[in-house]
Amino acid sequence: MNKIATASLQRTAQGLTGKPNLLTVEDAKSMTLPRMTELFTKHLNPGQLHFMKLLGFHKVKIERAEGMHYYDQNGRPILDFFGGFGSLAFGHNHPRIVEARKKFQDEGRQEIAIAFMSQYATALAHNLAACSPGDLDMVFLGSSGSEAMEAAIKVAERAAGPKKPKIAYAENSFHGKTKGVLSITDGQLYRGEFKLVDNTVRVPFGDIDAVESAFRSDPEIGVIVLETIQGGGGIIQAPSEYWQRLRVLCDQYGVLWVADEVQCGFGRSGKFYAFEHAGVIPDVTALAKSLGGGKAAVGAMIARREVYMKAYGTPKTAMIHAMATFGGIGEACVTSIEAINILYDEHLIDNAAATGEYLLQKLDELKVKYPTMIKDVRGKGLMIGLEFHDFSKTVPMVLRPVLAVLDDKLKGSLPGFIGSHLLRDHGVLVAFTEYNRNVIRLEPPLICGREHVDEFIKALDEVLSRGIVRIVKDFVKAQVK
């Protein structure tokens, strides 16, 4: 019998709670890939492992991360053009963020101060209001984008009132996986067979005439919720005129506009908020992801004071949607306070605009070079979509009719093959999108420089230069190794 089991039996004999067979931090740190795979399959998500194996991602164990790079079990750097779906504006382990968190810990500061006002939550709320245009100045703090968006639709629905209970949302939208925002997330994969709220109206994204028609025909619509740039939809934008007209229509019909900036906000588009490009201001917005500085889980809803006060402005209503236990937790707020300061001190918003423009230019050059593979390049700042043609369009004309019938089943295959080769052969990590599977999503940290863009473009160019036949052959070969 080992020492752990013996000690556990001794404690049980003494009337103490026996300690189960637990892993320590050191055990986790030294875990091998086979053991990780075993426990992932046993306790986390065996279905997800299937896709990780297809892409070869299951062969990588990340040992550390710094700046623009992960480092695997062999010390190989992996250039991060995925960025945790926009969660890593400052790269990995930004020294100022690490130092702020360490100082907070060393000083023995409070984390959960629910009974008292928190100087850290208060300061973070002030900073978010200072960064937000107009009268977006009332803040709710949470721990995720889903929680921030739940708060956003709740404050808007209450402010709209019981006579206007319906919420309009867009096709191909993604707002989160909790049940409230899942009801305005337009994806059957995520919706599954859950019973969702039914006070919703679906409209096409970017079609202002459809929005006006919905508002005119249904006076019960009190809220419209839209991602300013659709991430899961494939990095889809609407022109500035759309948002300007939307603002006018919302005012005309008494509808509150909720702008979901969880992924596209916090400087990623080259402005603090993506809606600022159109020179308009929503009634409610939400941030998360990089708001936590890559080291904490932080989300925030920011509402116009008038809207917030209608919903929760009296002592009787103030606690209807107050912060949860971990909303405004000390170290998370300190992390976000430091992150916002870094965003401006290091001019990362401006860098996102300039480097994003350079990345788009280089991708456009590849589109010209590989027209049968690359269908479109689009995005704003460092939120970019690289769309590939359906498989049948990439092969010689004589084969296209044969493969065309398989296009739907093969959607996502080419981006998957390319992403797999980029990681395996060049140490570059990219992401994908939920609804348009032919899109590679590029959301590198906002610290990304031209030299990182050049490295990425060189790797992508090499993979695409192989041609479709060799890309497929190389992928199949890697699967049987």
pLDDT in tens, 194-229: 889 999 999 999 999 999 999 999 999 999 999 999
Distance CA 34, CA 42 (A): 12
CATH code of the region 96-345: 3.40.640.10
Looking at the chain, which residues constitute the CATH 3.90.1150.10 domain(s)? 52-92+348-480
Q: Which architecture does CATH list for 52-92+348-480?
A: Alpha-Beta Complex (3.90)
Alpha helices in 40-94 (DSSP H): 46-55, 83-86
**Residue 36: closest CA among 353, 45, 227:** 45
Instruction: Measure the CA dihedral 222/227/232/237, to 10°.
Output: 120
3-state secondary structure of 72: strand
Distance CA 325, CA 112 (A): 7
Q: What is the DSSP letter of 43?
A: I
- pLDDT computed for residue 10 by the predictor: 63
Distance CA 174, CA 247 (A): 21
Distance CA 63, CA 373 (A): 35
Distance CA 461, CA 234 (A): 21
Strands (DSSP E) found in 67-218: 69-72, 77-80, 136-142, 166-170, 200-203
Query: Are the C-beta atoms of 273 and 343 separated by less than 8 Å?
Result: no
> Residue 75: phi, psi to the nearest 5?
80, 10
Query: Are the C-beta atoms of 65 and 71 separated by less than 8 Å?
Result: yes
3-state secondary structure of 91: coil
- pLDDT computed for residue 127 by the predictor: 98
Q: What angle do CA 335, 338, 342 make, to 5 degrees?
A: 130
- pLDDT computed for residue 4 by the predictor: 56
Distance CA 149, CA 167 (A): 13
HSE-CB at 318 with a 13 A cutoff on CA atoms is 4
Burial class (CB in 10 A: 0-12, 13-18, 19+), 437: middle
Looking at the chain, which residues constitute the CATH 3.40.640.10 domain(s)? 96-345
Query: Are the C-beta atoms of 67 and 91 separated by less than 8 Å?
Result: yes
Q: Which residues of the chain have pLDDT under 50?
A: none
